[in-house]
Structure 1
């Protein structure tokens, strides 16, 4: 006789309630009124669950007892619902039956799978922490730094924040209290990079030991492939005035490119060199790249580092990355589905040509932490408005209408406005209802858009300085800044309140990178008939006789300088949080992918990364 038949044959509903209560508590000794035959029945699943859990733990290292207990409780709860239907002579609908049983079974299956994966994740994290701590035997042991590099390259540092801090703090103390005793270029450059990435303002003077009497990097380094790759990665953290690091970029880049030309382009080493040149860690987003890298990660690490003891931890780090990828995909897919369903202004917002899923994806990059779902939802709304207003100015409004629109935003009042098209009125109302706390930033954005429209209507090409100063505002980055500032709670810190109304250097640098990268592209939205001036056009007008090539070269140099300023601010002491700094570092890292248009005016790189992170086939 099955458990369900056994229960349904019992006469007293009160006894079934007691039976279900015992199953939920997973004990029956203290439940009064429970018949002996019910206790005997309960003994079977109790004993079986204990025995099965023990066997699974011995074989797989995972104890599922708690989740099996919950499964039995869920099953008995479902049976009790049916018994109550029977006792009240209620004939359930097919919908009630389906919801009761399908919901129970799917929930149990999902909970069991999720619980097992969460247990495996936490168990693996503990194992990696134990291994990392075992590498603390001596300062000269560089393997702990290699472990940190591996963890960060796979986007797993949030699991090991305190452990990584302890290791790097110890290395930093050694750097500032003792003469750097490493003679290996790879090790010195790796330590320099990891410390600067963590915000330690390590002097670039430690790289001077690898220069000859002429002030150039020694030719002996030509044969040190791992050292050159490590130095090239470190050189991405250059700050203004870091001439040693600037020399390192030129030295390493030319040699690495030469090695690619003269060697086998299909070898593992060549693949790692290409990745280093095109996607140096500091300027890339590892969580975007790891989906394709995780399976070959051990090979990549062996080409980047001398990894004598790598075998005792690399598989664990890879396994953790696979679990984390799966969990991230589930979280982000659900977020994007919800964001698309709630797409701002619904089907009436035809002015918003940008894909909501793309905007949500950019927000995932800016605020990547798993616990930031609500913050990402709010930031997606703000970015949606930026694109909507941009399209209104570029496509849908006359200069007179746009002037009225901008005046309304500056007054922060949408009532009694005559002469505006419906799309503008709708946008204004939604803007007021959604983002009241940062009205000044929206006014600043609209003023910048309006200035660009006036330039166009007058046939005026601004100077590069005028264009870039206004272009950083019209990029929308300052609106993103205000939202992130509020969402991360920076305003709570009294030292930070003045920053809210300013253009912080970190944000200004990110805005400059975005504006210049956008102008490097050849894209024009195919439905956009409005003005879309660029820095390139302004440069060639200001410097008569200059070529497009020289203008592009100037833009690349300016982007490089903006990155140096961004790096400097991340190394400086300021009242803003590390999370805030990382948000705008991630935005700067994302920008080349956002504006990498192909000949069909599409964004294949962005689409590829979206599919990778969301696991869309």
Structure 2
């Protein structure tokens, strides 16, 4: 158990363990595209981030397949097991067993098959059982609170009063590691009003779990439970990418029952769906010619798809994933034009043309910008055309405004860099929550995801008035800053939040990073309020969840560094292999 320590690489060991069917991509030479390539000559006026080429060869991606899904009876076996699991769900009537079963189904990634039944179970708990906490142990109370909050039920932190009172008067002692993990995880569903969850419950559980892990007697505990404690302390479950957690949970599942049989087959079937989408997107990306023409930009189509799977993973949302991956890829490219290559005059010109949305001005742009703008223009109009045809509403004005706002925010940072301006944290964040691109991503997401598009919601998104979008964007921005700012500063980029705080207060880098981490935690408290807030009723529940998933995805991508710019150094490659490439063995 010497490997059990906070921050150890043991955290995702089970999820990343390679099976005999595991595959790794080959590094092959760039494929040629028949477009005029910008010469990669040294230009003293231009920067270079020296990004590594893509780890993922196009031919390798086209060869992906899940060998278990090719079996003739795979889908039939999945559907047969699904009905057996449904029967287990129907026949489980003890309250704690019901909650634990719902939690298992969520962690195994198969709860989407039983949404109506799970919603009925939790609604019944909320109306009939939520106040029966005095008769329950710590684990049962915490699990009930976490699941209800996750599903939008506004259950009070008062459910923990019995335990809080004992902790405050020093009479509560517990070495129940399972209960401590549960209550620690539950505390991360707190809002800013739940002060006792922060100051009493989380602090107590944190202290007790660390004491257990650091104890020389920790070998007396089950190794899987200890791993759960270490993982929770490094990053709570509520903040983690769900698809990656599903892989880890399946690999660590110790029982052989119908749940795990069903989850393994379903994981492979969904992975096969994701692989087909990735093949399409790799072909689309190659056909755009952008990766070949813009040598300075990050070639990250697989990583951009991985972001999207983190946002919405269920198999029925393939169209949404395809569109949002294209948006992510264009954002990555345009970001590098502003951050790395473009001169200030060129960037002002590009921003003006995007704002005006005028393809007739294409020839005013420098050669390397023309193709990028044309792809942006065509893809956005294509999305708008599909939505007009299917949903009878013209969203192009809103989509093009989101691109204009993003480019204007990029331009602000380019001007700061040129003038060597050092913004305050407040000034930085007023621009940076837009320049991180979350409002642009989520504006497109709303349009392609929603069955019925509300003009009122479109207006609020366009004016940046949806708080859940702002919260998601702030977490994304700050997680990005913590993971990427050292590399970006080396190439002369604008100061990030950590450096802004250092410059403004004179604090050390360590204290400044801790301040930014607190900003992330506080923003999560605000975002949690959006889950249970009735003010979010105009937004589809799936949209709110996707906005929160974007924040989760940012903390996955930047957990160990710049997982988007340098994916091999920050474990992104391993995580992609475990979720998108390597199947779960069924034999």
Q: How does 1:336-355 map to 2 (within 5 A)?
A: 336-343=278-285, 345-346=288-289, 347-355=292-300
| Aligned residue number for residue 296 of structure 1 | 252
8 Å Cα contact 2:485/2:496 also seen in 1: no
Q: How does 1:383-402 map to 2 (within 5 A)?
A: 383-402=328-347
Q: Given the two structures, how large is their TM-score scaled by the length of structure 2?
A: 0.78
1:290-339 CA deviation, whole Å, 9 max, x = no partner? 3343243136xxxxxxxxxxxxxx61111111101211221112211221
1:587-613 CA deviation, whole Å, 9 max, x = no partner? 111112212345995443221110001
1:428-452 CA deviation, whole Å, 9 max, x = no partner? 1221111142110001001001111
Q: How does 1:27-426 map to 2 (within 5 A)?
A: 116-136=73-93, 141-175=95-129, 180-212=133-165, 216=168, 219-246=171-198, 247-262=200-215, 263-264=217-218, 267-298=223-254, 315-343=257-285, 345-346=288-289, 347-416=292-361, 420-426=365-371
CA distance in 2, matches of 1:409, 1:113: 45
| Aligned residue number for residue 420 of structure 2 | 459
Deviates more, 1:591-600 or 1:560-569: 591-600
8 Å Cα contact 2:250/2:260 also seen in 1: yes
CA distance in 2, matches of 1:528, 1:395: 12
CA distance in 1, matches of 2:69, 2:560: 44
Asked whether 1:511 is paired with 2:473, we answer yes
Cα separation, partners in 2 of 1:546 and 1:526, compared to 1, 3 Å: closer
CA distance in 2, matches of 1:475, 1:497: 20
8 Å Cα contact 1:124/1:320 also seen in 2: yes
- From 494, 500, 503, the counterpart of 1:538: 500
Cα separation, partners in 2 of 1:276 and 1:111, compared to 1, 3 Å: closer
| Aligned residue number for residue 449 of structure 2 | 488
How far has the Cα of 1:212 moved from its partner?
Answer: 3.1
Question: What number of residue pairs does the alignment pair up?
Answer: 488
How far has the Cα of 1:222 moved from its partner?
Answer: 2.4
Q: Given the two structures, how large is their TM-score scaled by the length of structure 1?
A: 0.74
1:497-543 CA deviation, whole Å, 9 max, x = no partner? 43331321111111111111111125566898452421111111111
SS of match in other structure, 2:189: coil
8 Å Cα contact 2:110/2:263 also seen in 1: yes
How far has the Cα of 1:147 moved from its partner?
Answer: 0.5
SS of match in other structure, 1:443: helix
CA distance in 1, matches of 2:86, 2:407: 50
CA distance in 2, matches of 1:179, 1:614: 43
1:86-144 CA deviation, whole Å, 9 max, x = no partner? xxxxxxxxxxxxxxxxxxxxxxxx999555111211111111111121122x5xx3101
| Aligned residue number for residue 609 of structure 1 | 575
SS of match in other structure, 1:604: coil
CA distance in 2, matches of 1:224, 1:613: 32
SS of match in other structure, 1:252: helix
SS of match in other structure, 2:257: helix
| Aligned residue number for residue 376 of structure 2 | 431
Where does structure 1 lack aligned partners over 5 or more consecutive residues? 1-109, 300-313
Asked whether 1:587 is paired with 2:550, we answer yes
SS of match in other structure, 1:121: helix
8 Å Cα contact 2:363/2:370 also seen in 1: no
How far has the Cα of 1:355 moved from its partner?
Answer: 1.3
8 Å Cα contact 1:148/1:164 also seen in 2: yes
SS of match in other structure, 1:241: coil
8 Å Cα contact 1:401/1:419 also seen in 2: no
CA distance in 2, matches of 1:242, 1:290: 29
| Aligned residue number for residue 310 of structure 1 | none
1:7-48 CA deviation, whole Å, 9 max, x = no partner? xxxxxxxxxxxxxxxxxxxxxxxxxxxxxxxxxxxxxxxxxx
> What is the Cα-based RMSD across aligned positions, in Å?
2.5
How far has the Cα of 1:279 moved from its partner?
Answer: 4.3
CA distance in 2, matches of 1:190, 1:111: 34
CA distance in 2, matches of 1:325, 1:564: 31
Deviates more, 1:335-344 or 1:382-391: 335-344
8 Å Cα contact 2:206/2:233 also seen in 1: yes
1:233-276 CA deviation, whole Å, 9 max, x = no partner? 11110101111210211111111011101033693332222133
How far has the Cα of 1:585 moved from its partner?
Answer: 1.7
- Say which one has the larger Rg: 1
8 Å Cα contact 1:513/1:562 also seen in 2: yes
1:448-504 CA deviation, whole Å, 9 max, x = no partner? 011111111112111110101100110011110111010112662355343331321
SS of match in other structure, 2:253: helix
| Aligned residue number for residue 16 of structure 1 | none
Cα separation, partners in 2 of 1:414 and 1:286, compared to 1, 3 Å: closer
